Amino acid sequence: EIVLTQSPGTLSLSPGERATLSCRASQSVSTSYLAWYQQKPGQAPRLLIYHASSRATGIPDRFSGSGSGTDFTLTISRLEPEDFAVYYCQQYGSSAMYTFGQGTNLEIK
């Protein structure tokens, strides 16, 4: 089973700053099967990025994804107040299983 490790666990930034979130896999992941989600307190997750770098419908262009192999990054270019949330990466692997990272809590500094 592929394990996804996200870092940092908590990221404290101010609105207007740039956020860089990391997702590292224990084995190589196909970029086709790497996604990112945002979850706000009391809400369901929302798809942000799929195929490692494609924005989902309605997602602002300040969100971008990159990476390949075992290292993936979600970048938020200029934080808006509504961006403070928990972010998860997710992959689908050769064992036909789905795994999520443990999440990064992006909080207001």
Partner 1 sequence: EVHLVESGGGLVQPGGSLRLSCAASGFTFSTYWMHWVRQSPGKGLVWVSRINSDGSTLYADFVKGRFTISRDNAKNTLNLQMDSLRAEDTAVYYCAKGASYHGMDVWGQGTTVTVSS
* Residues contributing to the site for partner 1 (CB under 8 A): 32-33, 35, 37, 39, 43-47, 50-51, 56, 88, 90, 92, 96-103
The residue (of 16 and 89) whose beta carbon lies closer to partner 1 is 89
The residue (of 12 and 32) whose beta carbon lies closer to partner 1 is 32
Tell me whether strands 104-108 and 10-13 are parallel, antiparallel or unpaired: parallel
Task: Quickly count helices (H) and strands (E) in the chain.
Answer: 0, 10
CA distance 46 to 26: 25
The residue (of 37 and 84) whose beta carbon lies closer to partner 1 is 37
We find the least distance from the C-beta atom of residue 42 to partner 1, in angstroms, to be 9
